[in-house]
Amino acid sequence: MFIVVVGGGKVGYYLTRELLASGHEVVLLEKDPRRAAEIAHEIGSVVLNRDGCEGKHLAEAGANRASIVAAVTGDDEDNLVVCQMAKHHFDVPRTIARVNSPRNEALFRKLGVDEVINPTRMALGAIEQDIPVHDLLHLAQLSTGELELVEAQIEPGSPAAGRAARDLPLPEGCMLFVVIRGDVAQAVRPDTTIEAGDKLVALSRMDCQDDVRRLLIGEHEDQAPV
């Protein structure tokens, strides 16, 4: 596959190395001459010292025959423009943007970026997993942004504890997937009884996460019902 990467910071550098190692054809665009030379010294001539936001430089990099353009600079606006140019001007089938401000995530999707990666959210998610909080853990967002995989820790007072999966009034469009009991994960069946201490992995629509949380975890102790 031919992939154009824009931005030679840490993310772009390691991404390019990984892609090359797995046998892909890659061009990396980095506008800072010193940084471009540094990377070229380490991974060879796949680096072009160009500003990937400029149409003619994307053309020079071969964007019109790229399967994927990944914009991973530290500036949200640059990543957006690279993806939109790739999509609308070069008909690139798949565009990926790194966003740094969580607020831009939904906007970028709406504006046609196929995949939006938010390192801030990922770091928050990873940290949340290590901190016991009585809330849903956000595991992964599915590509459309409307569905999310969430994990709930079932505590003794949880409304779901002691009930069979089929008896839980989950909102439409949400489903339980997997129950992790001890170290064993198994698929949730209609007759699976949820027990305190379980971890439940569920697919939830974004707009019914409050309902899912109330059902699996209960109300926040320190927070009035919304």
Identified binder of other proteins from the candidate list 84, 121, 199, 218, rule CB under 8 A: 84
- The nearest distance, CB 63 to other proteins, in angstroms, is 11
- Tell me the closest approach of the beta carbon of residue 147 to other proteins, in angstroms: 22
Judged on CB neighbours under 10 Å (0-12, 13-18, 19+), 66 is buried
Judged by CB under 8 A, the number of residues near other proteins is 19
Q: Are 92 and 86 in contact, with CB atoms under 8 Å apart? A: yes
Specify the residue, 51 or 219, whose C-beta has the smaller distance to other proteins. Answer: 51
Spatial separation of the C-alpha atoms in residues 46 and 48, rounded to whole Å:
7
DSSP for residue 145: S
Q: In angstroms, what is the minimal distance from the CB of 81 to other proteins?
A: 4
Nearer residue to other proteins within complex by CB, 10 or 89:
89
Length of the chain: 226
The CB density around residue 90, as the number of other CB atoms within 10 Å, is: 19
Minimum distance between the CB of residue 53 and other proteins, rounded to whole angstroms?
6
H-type alpha helices, the chain = 10-21, 33-43, 55-61, 76-90, 104-110, 119-130, 209-216
| Residue (105 or 198) nearer to other proteins, CB | 105
Residue 43-62 contact track with other proteins, rule CB under 8 A, x = bound: ----------xxxx------
Assess 146 for contact with other proteins (CB under 8 A): no
Q: Report the C-alpha gap between 15 and 70 in whole angstroms.
A: 9
211 binds other proteins (CB under 8 A): no
- Structure-derived torsion over alpha carbons of residues 116, 117, 121, 123, reported in degrees to the nearest 10: 180
Residues 92-131 contacting other proteins, CB under 8 A? 103-104, 107, 110-111
Q: Is 30 in the site for other proteins (CB under 8 A)?
A: no
Residue 84 in tokens: 């939109």
If one asks whether residue 80 binds other proteins (CB under 8 A), the answer comes out as: yes
In the complex, the residues that contact other proteins under the rule CB under 8 A are 53-56, 75-78, 80-81, 84-85, 88-89, 103-104, 107, 110-111
